[in-house]
């Protein structure tokens, strides 16, 4: 029974070299699989069949890779991935880290799922957060040894892909296969509610980047983001609560 697999590495070790692997699920399932098998250096062909709700990985790669029978060839995308450390736990990530209102949305989404069977509307949660449910923080962001302090930070994600939050193109210029092995560190800062509400819809098309007064992105190998007050964070859709800071390493 495939649903009883607790660690994909144990199952993959029993495969013959000619066996093909298909992962069916969403971004969270994909992230878990990648972390389970990352050190195995699999020679089997690996494919991803998307049947999740957010599908940020699919959104990122659908135009650049050959998808046949709804199967995404994964081997190239699993070769080298950045490492994130949160609350003492380190893992690889396939899309990105959401810190700030994105983490708040995941926290609220998890709470709704625990208490009802309703479909979670992350856009509605985000709008409520922008209207006052989420309180922006002050932050210190260090990229390759250079630290900048920001006030009134709404978002401070680090991305290897372009999409998070179920279709928001937060880093439209990020290339997950870039030869330099850099990630994008983003800060959305120093904006009031009205400004944020005006810019927010543009994130879905990546048009928010023109608002350089509140949006800043830096490329780097070593990232550290620290808030003055803890808040929730998400890594490929997995929620972490009460996070004061996170670090990313990518070489």
Contact yes or no for 228/207 (Cβ under 8 A) = no
pLDDT of residue 162: 98
pLDDT, mean of residues 181-199: 96
pLDDT more than 90, % of the chain:
83
User: Sign of the C-alpha dihedral, residues 60, 173, 204, 248?
Assistant: positive
- Considering only CA atoms, give the Rg of the chain: 18
- At residue 101, the pLDDT reads 95
d(CA 221, CA 9): 28
**What are 149's strand-pairing partners?**
140
Confidence of residue 18 (pLDDT cuts 50, 70, 90): very high
Cα separation, 125 vs 103, whole angstroms:
11
Per the CB < 8 A criterion, the answer to whether 181 and 80 are in contact is yes
DSSP letter, residue 93? -
Give the whole-angstrom CA distance, residue 250 versus residue 30.
Answer: 19
Reported as a single tens digit per residue, the pLDDT across 209-236 is 999 999 999 999 999 999 999 999 999 9
Please tell me the predicted confidence (pLDDT) of residue 4.
Answer: 55
Which two tokens mark 176? 């997950």
pTM: 0.93
Cβ neighbors of 202 (< 8 A, separation 6 or more) are 208, 211
Residue 1: what pLDDT?
40
Compute the average pLDDT of residues 16-28: 93
What three-state secondary structure class fits 179? Answer: coil
Mean pLDDT of the chain: 93
d(CA 154, CA 167) in angstroms, rounded, equals: 18
Report d(CA 238, CA 233) in Å as an integer.
Answer: 8
**What pLDDT shows up at residue 5?**
60
Helix (H, G, I), strand (E, B) or coil at 23: strand
pLDDT of 16 > 70? The answer is: yes
Q: Name the β-bridge partners of 20.
A: none
Query: CB-hemisphere CA count at 13 Å for 111?
Result: 11
CB 170 within 8 A of CB 107: no
**pLDDT tens-digit series, residues 82-141:** 999 999 999 999 999 999 999 999 999 999 989 988 888 888 999 999 999 999 999 999
Residue 66 has pLDDT above 90, yes or no: no
Tens digit of pLDDT for each residue in 161-183?
Answer: 999 988 899 999 999 999 999 99
pLDDT of the residue at 122: 85
Q: Which two tokens stand for residue 7?
A: 């660690």
Residue reference for tokens 């135009």: 63
């Amino acid at each position: 029974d495939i649903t009883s697999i607790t660690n994909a590495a144990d199952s993959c070790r029993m495969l013959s070299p000619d066996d093909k692997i298909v992962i069916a699920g969403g971004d969270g399932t994909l992230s878990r699989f990648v972390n389970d098998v990352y050190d195995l250096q699999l020679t089997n062909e690996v494919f991803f069949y998307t049947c999740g709700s957010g599908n940020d990985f699919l959104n990122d790669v659908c135009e650049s890779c050959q998808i046949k029978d709804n199967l995404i060839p994964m081997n190239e995308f699993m070769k080298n991935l950045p490492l994130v450390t949160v609350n003492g736990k380190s893992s690889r990530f396939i899309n990105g880290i959401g810190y700030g209102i994105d983490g708040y949305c995941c926290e609220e989404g998890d709470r709704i799922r625990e208490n009802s069977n309703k479909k979670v509307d992350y856009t509605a949660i985000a709008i409520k957060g922008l209207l006052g449910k989420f309180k922006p923080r002050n932050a210190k962001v260090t990229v390759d040894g250079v630290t900048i302090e920001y006030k009134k930070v709404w978002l401070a994600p680090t991305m290897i892909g372009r999409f998070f939050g179920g279709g928001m193109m937060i880093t439209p210029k990020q290339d997950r296969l870039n030869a330099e092995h850099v990630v994008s560190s983003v800060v959305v800062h120093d904006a009031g509610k009205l400004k944020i509400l005006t810019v927010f819809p543009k994130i879905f098309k990546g048009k928010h980047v023109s608002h350089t007064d509140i949006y800043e992105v830096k490329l780097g190998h070593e990232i550290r983001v620290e808030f003055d007050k803890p808040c929730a964070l998400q890594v490929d859709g997995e929620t972490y609560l009460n996070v004061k800071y996170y670090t990313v390493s990518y070489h």
